[in-house]
Structure 1
């Protein structure tokens, strides 16, 4: 819903879904100045590192091509041979320099926004042919920033170029009296350092452009409050999302419940299917509280945790079923089960007082008083 259509201000930060949708469309934060700066600095560094080697190879190539015999000049096939040799020599000489440029060309774009490929971004969009939209983009804030950046680059790089030429004029004039090979190597060094200093000026422009691009990208993706509400409604309304949320909630609840088992006073079981864990606060508790319950696999896990932490485990199938079906987690047991649970706890305390060892399941009498309305088969 566009801001113009709703009249609402886009004051909300973009949600993760909106950012993900934008990436799928190829709309991510990019800085052309950052890409250009990385590429130019890499080229300048490559000239400084490989400049002497390249100049030497160029000298050898010139020597090879200028040492042509009279017969070779009039032989077209030999001319093709000389040309092929020169091309292969220069490709070999420039191969490492080209590798540096290729790496820089790949690193620059992914340094801001990361790696992203979208088929939608390469599809033709006829809306871009709209002249009104084009005029609107020409007079936008982004166009003004681009104009200021262009003027800034011209002034800074141009001014520094003049300064570098003035500082290097003695070296440039002196090259005329040097032998050809040392002069070529010297020229490559002067060119590399001059190019590096000129490229370094781009760092200041990039330092301004990158924050602006991040700000402009975030501003463009901002949402109105109604858009955020609609997105939450649409997202949470999907059956798969709701199912996933319920699954996560169940897993969190089960982990929390299993964490309470070691603190329980007793685990009552129907050895095959049911397990319930009770905790009784003897100081201020009104009645025992159900801290964990489960059937089948979950019942087995409760018993395993109880054995690991030496929590008494007693077998009382009717009472276990009654507590399971009539009590929710973190709730006190029903009043009708007070007497039966009190007998269980008395038995547990008696076992503790005599320091008996607890087996996995203790067989105790199964005639606890359970009201008919609380019994469950």
Structure 2
């Protein structure tokens, strides 16, 4: 079942799923990148800062060799001396330590940016389950990590052996030269050794980072149904959207019908179109269309108009023109002033005649 589920996940993860995984702290990260940066920092410290650090430490330690008679060898004196020595050396090593801390932070932030997620530190029973731990122990990821560790050990050991064995075969050379020359040679050898190791670890880090990105995408892949469901959730369920649209249309139609009794006249086609116009000579500069409809809606407008004794005038060309050109609650355009004025004038005359 697990294989079938994996085989069905053929779609790349959406940006929404990637974002959700990031919020949960699930990102692609390579420990080899961090190792590469730390080794690079060590190389920089040895090659560039090594002499400065050695001079500062030697300056602090020289007092032990030059003025041993000034030390108090009682408990308090030794404690103060040791505290001062540790403080002095700590101040010298503060810069390299700070550099390693910054590199360790950059090793993570540089890969996936800043993430604030409490889920990674939230206790879960699955994390302490022996069965889950056993599965992780023999997973593909664990196998890759194991192979990667073996490759690193073999390569680094080979580099160390290639550089150190020739020197170990001729130890007498170190006995016949000045100690400063020997220290210089050891420093150069250490720099070359670190450069070689950093180069190899850098290549491993680049390959591992690419693999972790690939593995991360593979773990988050989605089935076609998941993509459809997510798209549906993002855009909204079409059925729900349709129901909401129908509800809005019904409410808008009810509001429109409620205004038909206020109309001054309803112009019809006679059954296919109907428009209701309202005009108050003292309050309006032009008639306003308060309701319009076609077929069934037109019939309802006629019924409401008849129930409320609103005059109905059949004028098919004008009804079709106003239906197409004027929106609800808008004034009629000047092109139709003359035709509408004739209709309203006719209605007004009809009302006067009725009153008489």
Same fold (TM over 0.5): yes
The SS at the match of 1:368 is helix
- Residues 1:47 and 2:17 aligned together: no
Query: Do the aligned partners of 1:25 and 1:121 also contact (CA within 8 Å) in 2?
Result: yes
The residue that corresponds to 2:339 in the other structure is 369
Q: 1:30 to 1:173 in 2, by over 3 A?
A: farther
The residue that corresponds to 2:58 in the other structure is 59
Aligned-residue offset at 1:112:
1.6
The SS at the match of 1:14 is coil
Query: Do the aligned partners of 1:58 and 1:90 also contact (CA within 8 Å) in 2?
Result: yes
The residue that corresponds to 1:196 in the other structure is 195
Aligned-residue offset at 1:55:
1.1
Distance 1:182 1:219 in 2: 55
Distance 1:335 1:32 in 2: 79
Aligned-residue offset at 1:115:
1.7
- Map Cα deviations across residues 285-325 of structure 1 (whole Å, 9 max, x no partner): xxxxxxxxxxxxxxxxxxxxxxxxxxxxxxx844xx55997
Aligned-residue offset at 1:42:
1.4
The residue that corresponds to 1:273 in the other structure is none
Query: Do the aligned partners of 1:42 and 1:100 also contact (CA within 8 Å) in 2?
Result: yes
Q: Which runs of 5+ in 2 are unaligned?
A: 246-284, 294-315, 323-333, 345-356
Aligned-residue offset at 1:68:
4.0
Query: Do the aligned partners of 2:159 and 2:193 also contact (CA within 8 Å) in 1?
Result: no
The residue that corresponds to 1:103 in the other structure is 102
Aligned-residue offset at 1:195:
1.9
- Map Cα deviations across residues 80-125 of structure 1 (whole Å, 9 max, x no partner): 2321221122122222222221221111112222221211101122
Q: 2:318 aligns with which of 336, 341, 345?
A: 336
Aligned-residue offset at 1:8:
6.5
Query: Do the aligned partners of 1:51 and 1:192 also contact (CA within 8 Å) in 2?
Result: no
The residue that corresponds to 1:214 in the other structure is 213
- Residues 1:154 and 2:153 aligned together: yes
Q: 1:62 to 1:180 in 2, by over 3 A?
A: farther
- How many residues matched? 269
- Residues 1:88 and 2:87 aligned together: yes
Query: Do the aligned partners of 1:34 and 1:206 also contact (CA within 8 Å) in 2?
Result: yes
The residue that corresponds to 2:14 in the other structure is 15
Q: 1:198 to 1:7 in 2, by over 3 A?
A: closer
Query: Do the aligned partners of 1:55 and 1:188 also contact (CA within 8 Å) in 2?
Result: no
Distance 1:46 1:119 in 2: 35
Aligned-residue offset at 1:369:
2.2
The SS at the match of 2:112 is coil
Q: 1:6 to 1:215 in 2, by over 3 A?
A: closer
Query: Do the aligned partners of 1:51 and 1:189 also contact (CA within 8 Å) in 2?
Result: no
Q: Which runs of 5+ in 1 are unaligned?
A: 247-315, 327-333, 341-363
Query: Do the aligned partners of 2:13 and 2:221 also contact (CA within 8 Å) in 1?
Result: yes
TM-score by length of 2: 0.63
Name the Cα RMSD after superposition.
3.9
The SS at the match of 2:338 is coil
Q: 1:91 to 1:367 in 2, by over 3 A?
A: same
The SS at the match of 1:112 is helix
Distance 1:56 1:8 in 2: 62
The SS at the match of 2:225 is helix
- Map Cα deviations across residues 220-264 of structure 1 (whole Å, 9 max, x no partner): 0111112222223334449xxx8xxx9xxxxxxxxxxxxxxxxxx
- Residues 1:30 and 2:12 aligned together: no
Query: Do the aligned partners of 2:30 and 2:209 also contact (CA within 8 Å) in 1?
Result: yes
Q: 1:5 to 1:365 in 2, by over 3 A?
A: closer
Distance 1:7 1:100 in 2: 43
